[in-house]
Structure 1
């Protein structure tokens, strides 16, 4: 199979979906790998590294789309790439389809086979871990007065305690944020709705971490003392309420910080809006908001190595078996199927966008020869 690796074009995005290691494995399996020139440069992988692994360097993304049966990238399909899609072409990327109606329209109109990579992880995406740790570190930076913050040092010093941090959500992202903040001697409160998760966190981390059940009343109780909020809750897209409303910002101290790693417009943080690394923060009611929606892009070497290892088995399976058989054999890959030759196959997208959708298992059964 001809596999094309695109250079990321999203602002601030420097990751690459496959490193030379995975490319070499694909090449040795008999597949042809094309990679856009300098796709891995900012992640620490040169064109020469990819050539040594067996890849062919291509100067423009247009040629990747024209020649490749399977096109892979980290982030969603950008509007400048829409016209390059071909019917029957397989796309594997973090598509975020439920939040991107225009992209879904194009995927269906172009009759491609699109797989939403973020839904294919059995043990959660490594990008979640990177985002949690990096989000916590970035949040502590904006507490400094040089960055507009309240002027607090994350771990404090002798006689002065560390910051009060509030982490919403105890999943992979939340635990990763807590790992960093607790190690830096912040006083951390973690909120979740799952008693099992809270119990695990209570025993996993140091005693500067405490847990509580997540609800708005508890958050209101904690906000006046909180210096840094890290939101790690993926808010259900059908809900119209929020965990932290604009009105609740008045409870927070001037110069305190909210880092919304989940990056849901209209989500858990009512005042969230997406930003880029060029202008990462904005202020609402004297509270600094960090809104970058691709945080792992700031650590592309670490993130690319981890992410490539996680998605490589799916890409190898598609290349070896063909997409239909690969979908039939793997429920996690099948879970990510978003569009199949003009048919929507992504349940969340169908429900959020009020579209008719077909269960991916039906597609798999009907198309395996």
Structure 2
């Protein structure tokens, strides 16, 4: 199979779909790889590194989309990239379609098979291709929040850890998954007073044990969200419903009553955001202010540490890239229900139920289109939910 790796074009996005080490693995399996020139030069991977691994360097992304059997990216394709996809081609990347109806329509119209990193599952009902970027984003959320709490950045001028004689800042984390856990780890490490909300009592018990009482683990309800948000200096939104739009947990009214100069970081912005006042921002202009509250809603947070993020992501994606390249999309997803759960668009149809529900679109079970046993679609849906 011919695998193509274009340069990412989102604002300040320097990650890339394959490292030279990943390319070498593919080439040793008999596949061919083409990479756009200077695709990862900003993070220390030169064209010569890719050539040494066996890739061919091409000058334009158009050549990649025209030639490649499978396109491997990091971020969702932009509209003009979607229009270059073709029937029978395979796209493997983050898609986040639940918050992007235009992209979903363009991908369906292309006829390409589109597998989304964020809905691929594993045997433990985890999201193995989302997890490494969630780890990065969780840690970055505290780092970004601490920075924007500084007075020179528009914040109230609070130091997360305080100093002897001055109380530490209060951090509220909503969601106890990968993002929330990593955010709590960073916030505790900086000496902040941390409260974490989640709706799973078993998860709260687990986190209470893990943090040995250094984090207040509280059941998430409308009342607890309001109580702790009004006290917080920094709020981190870390909720996730796999494949679906994020629920709005902080209303505009609640935001208006928060501390002036406080900061909210919406890590769920790729899925539409979990604050009513959230809108996607970029690393170039990462924040805006609503009612005196600084909003950090960068849609590609891990891009800020692109080298670390690229290596963490490709470590996770490579086994799936190899399976798709070795078998083709139909055989690969038929052999693995966890990979089948990642199939979001196939033959012009939405084949991921949470995405279809979020977009109010028709859902077509992938097994029906692939000629597989219906229970495979059911297993894929269950694993995403």
Q: Would the aligned equivalents of 2:119 and 2:243 in 1 still touch at CA under 8 Å?
A: no
Do residues 304 (structure 1) and 310 (structure 2) align?
yes
Instruction: Look up the match of 2:150.
Output: 144
Instruction: Look up the match of 1:15.
Output: 15
Instruction: Look up the match of 2:78.
Output: 78
Q: 1:42: how far off?
A: 2.1
Q: Would the aligned equivalents of 2:118 and 2:242 in 1 still touch at CA under 8 Å?
A: no
Q: TM-score, normalised by structure 1?
A: 0.95
Q: Which runs of 5+ in 1 are unaligned?
A: none
Instruction: Look up the match of 1:52.
Output: 52
Task: Tell me the C-alpha RMSD between the 2 structures.
Answer: 1.9
Counterpart CA distance in 2 for 1:83 and 1:222 is: 45
Q: 1:107: how far off?
A: 1.6
Instruction: Look up the match of 1:111.
Output: 111
Work out which of the residue numbers 228, 235, 245 in structure 1 matches 2:234.
228
Q: How many residues align?
A: 367
Q: Would the aligned equivalents of 2:118 and 2:243 in 1 still touch at CA under 8 Å?
A: no
Runs of 4+ off more than 4 Å: 235-241, 264-267
Counterpart CA distance in 2 for 1:144 and 1:114 is: 42
Q: Would the aligned equivalents of 1:227 and 1:253 in 2 still touch at CA under 8 Å?
A: yes
Work out which of the residue numbers 223, 234, 237 in structure 2 matches 1:217.
223
Counterpart CA distance in 2 for 1:342 and 1:219 is: 40
Q: 1:165: how far off?
A: 0.3
Q: Would the aligned equivalents of 1:235 and 1:267 in 2 still touch at CA under 8 Å?
A: no
Q: Which runs of 5+ in 2 are unaligned?
A: 374-385
Work out which of the residue numbers 333, 339, 350 in structure 2 matches 1:327.
333
Work out which of the residue numbers 291, 298, 301 in structure 2 matches 1:292.
298
In structure 2, the CA distance between the partners of 1:265 and 1:31, relative to structure 1 (3 Å rule), is closer
Do residues 99 (structure 1) and 99 (structure 2) align?
yes
Do residues 89 (structure 1) and 89 (structure 2) align?
yes
What secondary structure sits across from 1:300 in the alignment? helix
In structure 2, the CA distance between the partners of 1:236 and 1:319, relative to structure 1 (3 Å rule), is closer
* Residues 1-369 of structure 1 aligned to structure 2 (within 5 Å): 1-122=1-122, 123-124=126-127, 125=130, 126-234=132-240, 242-263=248-269, 267-366=273-372
What secondary structure sits across from 1:84 in the alignment? coil
| 1:217-242 CA distance string (max 9 Å, x none) | 11222233210000001369988973
| Higher alpha-carbon deviation: 152-161 or 168-177 | 152-161
Q: TM-score, normalised by structure 2?
A: 0.91
Q: Would the aligned equivalents of 1:185 and 1:208 in 2 still touch at CA under 8 Å?
A: no
Counterpart CA distance in 2 for 1:262 and 1:164 is: 21
| Higher alpha-carbon deviation: 324-333 or 243-252 | 243-252
